[in-house]
Amino acid sequence: MTTAAPWKRWSAATAELDPPFAVLDRGAFEANAADLLRRAGGLPIRVASKSLRVRSIIEALLARPGFRGVLAYTLPEALWLSETCSDVVVGYPTADRGAIAALAASEPAAAEITLMVDDVAQLDLIDAVAAPATRPTIRVCLELDASWQAPPPLGRLGVWRSPLRTPEQVRALAEEVVRRPGFALAGLMGYEAQIAGVADRVPGRRAMNALVGWMKPRSGAELAARRAETVASVSQVADLEFVNGGGSGSVESTAGDGSVTEVAAGSALFAGHYFDSYASFSPAPATGFALSVVRKPRPDCATVLGGGWIASGPPGLDRVPRVVFPEGLRMVPREMAGEVQTPLEGQAARSLRVGDRVWLRHAKSGELSEHVDEFAVVDGSSVVDRIPTYRGEGKAFL
């Protein structure tokens, strides 16, 4: 953490607001953005929109030096963003026929949007929706599987994304893209989730931290060699505009890979609490949310309304919101963060009264935006802006 705990300041700034509401701390956000640029060492950062889900923030980042393009998560989102943002890569394949038809019907959108492919079936689906002769050229990016085949008993580490693992496999699809009318090969992406998305300084998990710390450089070295070979091979087929890799947890190692031309990142900006536990960086908490105490079942227990804003991924305590203020409150193990109410117990609960507020942090960064219509932007000790989330603009993409 680079700043003093902001909760009291947030409380003072938002005294007039009724929970539940979320804040975005401008100073912390700016510190996190500057730190991302430092870590990227001059390589452009493609903004991972899923980790923000606030259009005005994405637009503001793109206007700054050091940030270039969006890594969106669905094609409908990309179509919407492309009205105001340029260079939008959809980071995951799409099978949304209506959205493909909309893309094929719009020259401006087709010029700004790049679709992710890792299978001929995805090209066939696009052709089935809009035949090549009837549409503008569709830009595509090939995805390389960036997982690591670790020695036994560990086995495969990473996420199940692309079936394309070898340079030969990627090149074969590149040749198919180039051979087929109506497509242009724009880029290559490989997301090393086992490096970028796995925390390695989790309190109380020494053995696991050591294992993850052992794994990351080895996986990074394997991927750097395979990615370089893949880029060299695909470059004989087409000129790649970009080679994308990484995420918030791997910015410096991905940027150090000579075959990568840009790094994707988003989570480190809002800094959900999952991102407190990385050895390589310490983002300042830039987002949080306040809930109201609505009853006191015991003197040392205060129950807040709401709370169950659980993050995606393997269910576990690291996916649950963290209660940060007042200090010394804990969730009740048999209830944890509830759909409608969350009892919090501990000495600190004794001084909480009905109508007081409690501050929490979401585990992930962009998912908080799915629970609120807007962020109250806090600068210093006042609210200086209210900005809508995707949800506040009536958009729910996933």
Ligand X SMILES: Cc1ncc(COP(=O)(O)O)c(C=O)c1O
- Residues near ligand X (CB under 6 A) are 48, 51, 71, 91, 191, 196, 247-248, 264-267
| 323 burial level (CB within 10 Å; 0-12, 13-18, 19+) | buried
- Cα gap 146→138, rounded to integer Å: 25
Closest approach of ligand X to the CB of residue 29, in Å: 14
In the bound state with ligand X, the residue whose beta carbon lies nearer, of 91 and 182, is: 91
- Cα gap 100→300, rounded to integer Å: 56
CB-closest chain residue to ligand X: 247
Closest approach of ligand X to the CB of residue 232, in Å: 22
In the bound state with ligand X, the residue whose beta carbon lies nearer, of 278 and 325, is: 278
The backbone torsions φ and ψ at residue 185, rounded to the nearest 5 degrees and listed phi first, read -85, 115
Closest approach of ligand X to the CB of residue 101, in Å: 25
3-state SS class at 353 = coil
Asked if residues 331 and 342 have their Cβ atoms less than 8 Å apart, the reply is: yes
- Single-letter amino acid code for the residue at 79: L
- Cα gap 29→21, rounded to integer Å: 18
- Cα gap 169→237, rounded to integer Å: 13
Give the orientation angle of helix 167-179 with respect to helix 206-235, to 10 degrees. 40
- Single-letter amino acid code for the residue at 382: S
Closest approach of ligand X to the CB of residue 274, in Å: 9
- Cα gap 123→397, rounded to integer Å: 22
Asked if residues 73 and 390 have their Cβ atoms less than 8 Å apart, the reply is: no
Closest approach of ligand X to the CB of residue 181, in Å: 28
3-state SS class at 378 = strand
In the bound state with ligand X, the residue whose beta carbon lies nearer, of 130 and 196, is: 196
| Structure tokens given for 86 | 């340029």
Closest approach of ligand X to the CB of residue 263, in Å: 8
In the bound state with ligand X, the residue whose beta carbon lies nearer, of 91 and 343, is: 91
In the bound state with ligand X, the residue whose beta carbon lies nearer, of 127 and 367, is: 367
In the bound state with ligand X, the residue whose beta carbon lies nearer, of 117 and 264, is: 264
- Cα gap 352→350, rounded to integer Å: 6
In the bound state with ligand X, the residue whose beta carbon lies nearer, of 67 and 191, is: 191
Closest approach of ligand X to the CB of residue 182, in Å: 25
